[in-house]
């Protein structure tokens, strides 16, 4: 297939692009590089032995997107592009609504104009909010607690309405939890610009001396050690989930939702200790106030993905920490080392 991947130079996107190329698909990446690096795609080509095409553009740029569709004629789209930090979204909510919703409108309009009828959407477990208790099933009540999560929830509703109005449109929504890890080669991994918003890259940067210490946002949650419980999934497993969803759409119409996680939650301090074990480095940390928009626990029931997609997470948190340590050790400044 010809697959257009928005945000494909980013962390999850680059691992998924690699999996697509290795499986034989042709890929076009559209990414504005606002929180990613083109170097990731050069390394993906090195690992895959073949290249993805690349267009540097914001997905909200209708003219650029129309040209990309016209030149590539994709059979399907995987939509990663978007702003993604929970804390930041509470500070600049309008930016999040403009970027995340606007890019989706432009993308769906381009798909319709160019007869592309399959889309896999990168959603988030943040859509579950505090209205239900984990483990979350795909039928659990939704209600995000922060602007980032609300944009994901709104996009899911937009996609459901679009699919209801267009019998040809096939939609897969993947609600995934906390991606961690890196490719086992150490060549691609998570390389956030500025201060990391996610736990493991921050821990990794503390271990290599780029950061002095980890800030743990709250130790008074109703969890075994007081820190937040999350479902951490290896990024390589997550990439495989996108390919499984794409395959499913090939034989099924309509709108579909799946959780991608492990169903086995770990606390913040569990991750700290796992990384200490992988790296042999003690991770200094400080307990600070809770972060706005965070919930105590978030983890998946992944039964539906097992049954319908034939997919399950296979890599452990320990493997993810080992892979992250390899990536960070070999690339202490991320892709800027190249």
Q: Which residues are catalytic?
A: 148
Contacting residues for 194 by C-beta, under 8 A, at least 6 apart? none
Neighbours of 218 (CB within 10 A): 17
- In angstroms, the CA 2 to CA 237 distance is 22
Neighbours of 337 (CB within 10 A): 10
Q: Do 43 and 188 touch, CB atoms closer than 8 A?
A: yes
Nearest of 152, 56, 145 to residue 97 by alpha carbon: 152
Could you identify the residue written with the tokens 């897969």? 172
- In angstroms, the CA 197 to CA 203 distance is 11
Secondary structure in 3-state letters for 226-247: CCCEECEEEHHHHHHHHHHHHH
- In angstroms, the CA 230 to CA 299 distance is 6
- In angstroms, the CA 338 to CA 333 distance is 9
For Cα atoms 124, 187, 331, give the angle at the middle one, nearest 5 degrees: 95
Contacting residues for 333 by C-beta, under 8 A, at least 6 apart? 210
Q: Do 2 and 8 touch, CB atoms closer than 8 A?
A: no
Contacting residues for 135 by C-beta, under 8 A, at least 6 apart? 263, 299, 300, 301
Phi-psi region of 158 (alpha: psi -120 to 50; beta: other; left: phi over 0): alpha
Q: Do 75 and 118 touch, CB atoms closer than 8 A?
A: yes
- In angstroms, the CA 284 to CA 192 distance is 21
Could you identify the residue written with the tokens 């990391």? 196
């Amino acid at each position: 297939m010809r697959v257009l991947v928005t945000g494909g130079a980013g962390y999850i996107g680059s691992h998924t692009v690699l999996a697509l190329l290795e499986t034989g698909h042709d890929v076009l990446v559209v990414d504005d590089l606002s929180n990613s690096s083109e170097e990731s795609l050069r390394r993906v080509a090195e690992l895959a032995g073949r290249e993805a095409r690349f267009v540097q553009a914001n997905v909200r740029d209708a003219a650029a997107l129309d040209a990309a569709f016209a030149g590539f004629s994709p059979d399907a789209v995987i939509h990663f592009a978007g702003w993604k930090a929970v804390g930041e979204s509470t500070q600049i909510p309008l930016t999040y609504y403009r970027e995340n919703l606007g890019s989706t409108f432009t993308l769906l309009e381009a798909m319709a104009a160019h007869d592309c009828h399959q889309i896999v959407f990168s959603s988030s477990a943040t859509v579950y909010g505090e209205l239900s208790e984990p483990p979350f099933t795909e039928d659990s009540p939704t209600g995000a607690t922060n602007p980032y999560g609300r944009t994901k929830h709104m996009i899911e509703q937009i996609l459901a309405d679009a699919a209801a109005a267009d019998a040809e449109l096939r939609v897969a929504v993947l609600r995934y939890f906390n991606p961690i890890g890196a490719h086992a080669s150490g060549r691609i991994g998570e390389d956030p610009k500025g201060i990391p918003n996610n736990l493991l890259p921050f821990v990794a940067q503390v271990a290599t001396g780029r950061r002095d210490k980890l800030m743990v946002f709250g130790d008074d949650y109703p969890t075994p050690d007081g820190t937040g419980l999350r479902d951490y999934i290896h990024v390589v497993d997550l990439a495989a989930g996108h390919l499984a969803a794409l395959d499913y759409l090939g034989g099924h119409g309509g709108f579909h939702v799946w959780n991608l996680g492990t169903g086995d939650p770990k606390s913040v301090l569990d991750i700290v200790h796992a990384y200490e074990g992988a790296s042999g480095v003690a991770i200094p940390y400080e307990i600070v106030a809770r972060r706005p928009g965070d919930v105590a626990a978030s983890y998946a029931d992944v039964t539906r993905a097992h049954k319908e997609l034939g997919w399950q997470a296979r890599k452990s948190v320990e493997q993810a920490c080992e892979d992250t340590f390899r990536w960070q050790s070999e690339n202490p400044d991320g892709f800027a080392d190249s």
